[in-house]
Amino acid sequence: MFDILVYLYETYYRPDACPEPAALARKLSAVGFDDVEISEAIVWLTDLTEMAGAEPSAAFSSSGTRFYVEQEVDALGTAAIGFIQFLESAKVLSPVQREIVVERALALEESPVGLGRLKIIVLMLLWSQGKEPDALMFDDLFGSDDEQAPRLLH
């Protein structure tokens, strides 16, 4: 599924340039992607688009500290949580965007979510909202995924 998401990010500069789900499925199939993965990617992306376009509630506009419950810690892993906190402190993600990233990562039913996959989730969220990370942040999001070296927050 993540190969498809990266393909979409690289192929369609803006989300509105992306075809409707039925046409997109045909194009992805013609390129050679597996039908099951295409279906999973389209459902995941549709859910992301719905969440990213929803009006944020007042509860999400908080500037307080986000505590992760045990289920989230188990599913995300410490590297992913550290990276999310880094992106939020760097003002790349708002609290609303953070919650969308967490929800989309939990929707993967994969534990723990790898840092490389989390970066793709962040890129897809920003892409779906028509936002681009600055050049340095883009390099960090598309850079190497050395999961052995955890990010140090200063």
What does the DSSP assignment read for the chain? -HHHHHHHHHH-SSGGGSPPHHHHHHHHHHHT--HHHHHHHHHHHHHHHHHHHSPPPGGGG--SPPPPPHHHHHHHHHHHHHHHHHHHHTTSS-HHHHHHHHHHHHTT--SSPPHHHHHHHHHHHHHHTT----HHHHHHHHS---TTSPPPP-
- Does the pLDDT value for residue 58 go beyond 90? no
CA distance 44 to 26: 17
Percent of the chain with pLDDT over 90: 46
CA torsion through residues 131, 136, 142, 146, sign: negative
Q: Given a cut of 60, is residue 154 above it in pLDDT?
A: no
15 or 107, greater pLDDT: 107
Of 71 and 61, the structure prediction assigns the larger pLDDT to 71
pLDDT at 14: 80
Counting Cβ atoms within 10 Å, is residue 106 exposed (0-12), middle (13-18) or buried (19+)? middle
Residue 134 predicted with pLDDT over 90 = no
Confidence of residue 56 (pLDDT cuts 50, 70, 90): low
Residue 148 has pLDDT above 90, yes or no: no
Per-residue confidence at 65, pLDDT binned at 50, 70, 90? confident
Q: Which of 25-29, 92-96, 148-152 has the lowest mean pLDDT?
A: 148-152
Mean pLDDT of 41-55: 85
Nearest to 100 by CA among 78, 128, 74: 128
Q: Which residues lie below 8 Å from residue 18, measured CB to CB, with a gap of 6+?
A: 8, 12, 24
The answer, yes or no, to whether residue 70 has pLDDT greater than 80, is yes
